A and B are shown apart, each in its own frame.
Chain A
């Protein structure tokens, strides 16, 4: 607990922790000091000079070092001849800060007049208009007219693409440096920078592709003017026309809090459409940031390819049908045979719950469609209430094994990088370099298949890393499936849980196991009792009735497509007419996450609500309602009126969810720093969160009850043509396929290898080559990567 300092701001006596900057201390006390270059999530630079205030300090006699007192026995306060920047000055005992004097007001007016000499009067056509710090501060503190001659105004390029996702308007930039500092200091992607000097200072990018950072969109939130805009939202709408809906990102297991901004449009026949995606502040999950996949990967929800009507197979063709017809047919099939349910991790908790309830009632099997296992162990060793990655620091340890977080769960990468910056001991176990390596205290490299041995080493307490982990006050382990299959990842989870148990890092907040799932709600699925099928092709082939929800096995793997062809009756509930849906006997159109209410469970075991942003498309219904509709016809009363109703049932039945309610998940509270409030200039345009911070699932029981570890099957001869399956952020999956914007950044269907390896095997870049991936042969294009260890091949799943 830092020492508390007492000071006066505008005649108000306040206390603030030692080391806090005047601008933040004032903010806490309700005094808003205007800023441009300062941002509470970054180191101050004192560049814009907007936060100049009058600072008086207790006078100390130079010779004696004693405080000088006035006639009334109070410490004498001396003000400097110059105003000082509130953003660079820490509070001091007895300090007197004046922010409302004529001198300070004049200074603000002067600084604004300076900024407006070059800034264009673009407000009528500028995206930022209506949520613009410069506009707001000019109105509050600036001059009404400029004395600068219009003819002297600089004319600069107003449409500079920094890559294809972000556009820069050079005239509007006020050279505050927030964007370059964010890129350099927060996310370690120094791909934009200042060029030239003086009035000519401009932002440039030389990376290939331009502005090559998965966090680039955040710079448009913190830019205090309309200089940086996204290609997604540029000239899209006026902020005051937008309605905002709180949601949770459905691309990865971090569960970033988002806001969808929507507007009714004539061009969309009166439909409400999504105009942009913005971060929503949740200091316990994603702070105020989101990655570009979450920001730009929403277009699938509004794709014209979306299914809007139920389809049934007649004369070997899928034709439109009514819900009643389709439900009746499906119910009949369910009466005939027990279903093999295959659900995907993008489904909500409510959907997964209802689907499983019905499946169990029909004596079927509920399976999670996933390449990664270990869930049964993970839910026992997971994080519990009170856990916050933002609190990990000196004395704590974080282990990341078999996961490239920067590609798989970017905001966890960021949170762990920051934890390491605060002194946490980061240990990275990986077969290949990852972007977390440079922040790690220990990097342990293993050859493919060597994960277990590496972990065994840690378990045995061998080496510095093991010692550091064991001695840590708190320890969190992230395990992934990089290069692993179901058995491998399950074993990994087992070993990680054992390590945590052995070193006493379970059963309390900020200690536990976090699985880096491929999908947003895989955690929810495993908490709700789902597990992967051990032999999915066999299971599909032999199933009399297959029911697939939110998964596309046929599209992912030709072997699964063939297996599905061999199955009996196939029911699919999907967003699109996927390869799987094409093989179905009945296809139910379902709502996207933006059209419904529900909840997801993040990999940190936090349950968070999402709210509808747009109206449902066509006749699409929520996934949970499809199950409920079938249930009705089969005599099973499943909740079907609302997601809240489903959740209430769920919470009664599933122990981990006990005590949680939708209202509880909707509780929000003050967060620090204050972002997205009325004073946009302070933190940017990310959204204030008043729709809910979510809540953790109940703490898992301690001690750990690990299931018997399966014996390692004879490893398939890892020949030299075996490629390790990995994940990339911008993959070829269905969700991103509909985002034109990201097309140029999608990872190619490639196999990556070190140039020397390619040479040795006589391969040229671009050449097509057959490799073995997860047990099946695939043809991929050769791509070179000098960072890979020699001899290692990697390919996207």
Chain B
């Protein structure tokens, strides 16, 4: 990689200053859009680029934008900065170090769907980043890039930040909308979908921070250029958050298609003390755990290839587990995470995560019992396909895969 596209501060450290960002091409795309393009042009470009959501679901971004009906107004764009999936810290770095590129992406998205107001929903723990982001937004207003007459046109656009207060479930898009609206952060029923009835019951686009940070590049350099990076099915670059048992944890901006091995060994510096890698969790705690065999390590990191080996790439929050780790202990931690974060709305997740947590606590003890292990698997499967949202479903993935692939850690001989 010669040039950072998203983590541009690694090339240009002062890029979090507006003047430096503009000197380096910042807001040229936005200005071009406002003065030369139609909203539909921006939408078409993003669609053509094949950009997929970077928050974990991987849904084609341009397609999502195109769902907003032209008959219901106003439209809203909400940037999801609730980054709470364990093992994920890419949005934090973008917001801290390259905030203007993200904001420009958000502003382009607003332009594309003709939204007059955009919100950035940040997890409550991002309080310091929010203070900085608010200062950036103020600077943009002072520079005429936001406000009632953006760049002297009759387009009005305002960006507001909204701080969460410590609830992972608010990263789920409909729960996020409920949270902004001042209600409990519990997911909504779908249909209706946010594209038709979202924030304040209006058509709304919700995009991840990293997703939006790609948009200025697509408009500036073209969809075709974007497609030269990554793979056919997953174009572009991805910020892989690497954590766990590695020497150099951190964010790595790499093209889709880079293998796990390259990420972990070449960039991550391998495991501490040269221990063997036992397992990989590519999607944070919401992962199907992958055994770190050669096949897995050499699998390209893109949505399709990871799915082909029975996993999910998700948010590309790659957690490396070495052989010092007992999987029962690890699963106990992931289950306690989901139990803590369960919103409580639906029975299987509310009761199931609570129940699983009791069992995993026992299994993480000195004498894991095979019957308990069987019970755990049964409870996890009992939750599946019944929950109101993905949290409950995802809470079972690490459990089921760990039991299946590492039975010896659970007392199953």
Touch test A–B (CB under 8 Å)? yes
Give chain B's interface secondary structure class.
helix
A199 proximal to B (CB < 8 A): yes
A-contact 0/1 string along B286-323, CB 8 Å cutoff: 00000000000000000000000000000000000000
Most buried by B among A118, A148, A199: A199
Q: Decide yes or no: A147 and B375 within 8 Å by CB, A47-B388, A52-B386, A81-B385 being known contacts.
A: yes
In whole angstroms, how far apart are the Cα atoms of A207 and B189 in the complex?
Answer: 30
**Is A644 on the interface with B (CB-CB < 8 A)?**
no
Contacts of A749 in B (CB 8 A): none
A48 pairs with B354, CB closer than 8 A: no
**Contact pick for B344, options A44, A117, A148, A200, CB 8 Å:** A200
| Cα–Cα, bound, A197→B355 (Å) | 15
21 contacts between A and B (CB under 8 A): A45-B189, A47-B347, A48-B347, A49-B347, A49-B388, A81-B385, A83-B385, A107-B386, A114-B347, A118-B354, A147-B375, A148-B355, A152-B355, A174-B347, A197-B184, A197-B343, A197-B344, A198-B340, A198-B343, A199-B344, A199-B350
Q: Are B348 and A114 interface neighbours, CB within 8 A?
A: yes
Q: A113 at interface (Cβ–Cβ under 8 A)? A: yes
A201 near B351 with CB under 8 A, answer no
Q: Which of B189, B351, B386 contacts A88 (CB 8 A)?
A: B189
Assuming the contacts A113-B382, A114-B355, asked whether A201 and B347 have C-beta atoms less than 8 A apart, the reply is no
The interface on chain A, measured as residues whose beta carbon lies within 8 A of the other chain's beta carbons, has a size of: 33
Residue pair B350, A198 in contact (C-beta under 8 Å): yes
Seen from chain A, the residues whose Cβ lies within 8 Å of a Cβ on chain B are 44-50, 52, 81-83, 88, 107, 110-111, 113-115, 117-118, 147-149, 152, 174-175, 194, 196-201
Query: Is B348 a contact partner of A110 (Cβ separation < 8 A)?
Result: yes
Are the CB atoms of A198 and B386 closer together than 8 Å? Answer: no
Report yes or no: A111 in contact with B386, Cβ–Cβ below 8 A.
Answer: yes
Give the distance in Å from the alpha carbon of A50 to the alpha carbon of B351 in the complex: 13
What are the residues of chain B within 8 A of A114 when measuring CB–CB? Answer: 347-348, 351-352, 355, 382
Question: Which residue on B lies nearest to A200, using beta carbons?
Answer: B344
Q: Which residues of A sit under 8 angstroms from B339, Cβ to Cβ? A: 198-199
**B106 CB to nearest A CB, Å:** 29
B221 located at the interface, meaning its Cβ lies under 8 Å from any Cβ of chain A in the complex: no
Q: A111-B347, A175-B344, A199-B339 are in contact. Are A194 and B382 (CB under 8 A)?
A: no
Query: Is B346 in contact with chain A by the CB < 8 A criterion?
Result: yes
Closest to A193 in B: B184
Q: How far is the CB of A765 from chain B (nearest CB, A)?
A: 33
Q: How far is the CB of A39 from chain B (nearest CB, A)?
A: 16
With A and B bound together, what is the CA distance between A52 and B378 in angstroms? 19
Which A residues are CB-close (under 8 A) to B353?
Answer: 198-199
- Is B329 positioned at the interface, with any CB of A under 8 Å from its CB? no
Give the most central of A44, A110, A201: most B CB within 10 Å: A110
Q: Does B345 touch A at the CB level, under 8 Å? A: yes
Chain B positions within 8 Å of A175 at CB level = 344-345, 347, 350
Who on chain A is nearest to B343 by CB? Answer: A197
The answer to whether B31 has its CB under 8 Å from any CB of chain A is: no
The answer, among B184, B340, B348, B358, for a CB contact under 8 Å with A149, is B358
Residues of A within 8 A of B378 (CB): 147
Chain A residues near B167 (CB, 8 Å)? 197
Is B341 part of the contact surface with A, judged by Cβ < 8 Å?
yes
Residue of A nearest to B355 (CB): A117
Q: Bound complex: CA of A216 vs CA of B342, how far in Å? A: 29
Instruction: Please give, as numbers and ranges, the residues of chain A lying within 8 Å of B352 by CB-CB distance.
Output: 114
Which A residues lie within 8 Å of B347 (CB)? 47-50, 111, 114-115, 174-175
Interface core residue of A52, A194, A198 (most chain B CB under 10 Å) = A198
Complex: A68 Cα to B374 Cα, angstroms: 43
Let me know if B341 and A198 touch, CB within 8 A: yes
Tell me, rounded to whole Å, the shortest Cβ–Cβ distance linking B360 to chain A: 12
By beta carbon, the residue of chain A nearest B382 is A110
Complex Cα–Cα for A339 and B167 (A)? 75
- Residues of chain A with a CB closer than 8 A to B343's CB: 197-198
Closest residue on chain A to residue B341 by CB atoms: A198
CB distance from B189 to the nearest CB of A (A): 5
Question: In the assembly, what is the distance between CA of A47 and CA of B343, in Å?
Answer: 11
Contact bitstring B379-392, A, C-beta under 8 A = 1, else 0: 00010011110000
Residues from chain B with Cβ under 8 Å of A149 in the complex: 358
A118 lies within 8 A of B386 (CB): no
The smallest C-beta distance from A65 to any residue of chain B, in angstroms, reads 17
Q: How far is the CB of B115 from chain A (nearest CB, A)?
A: 28
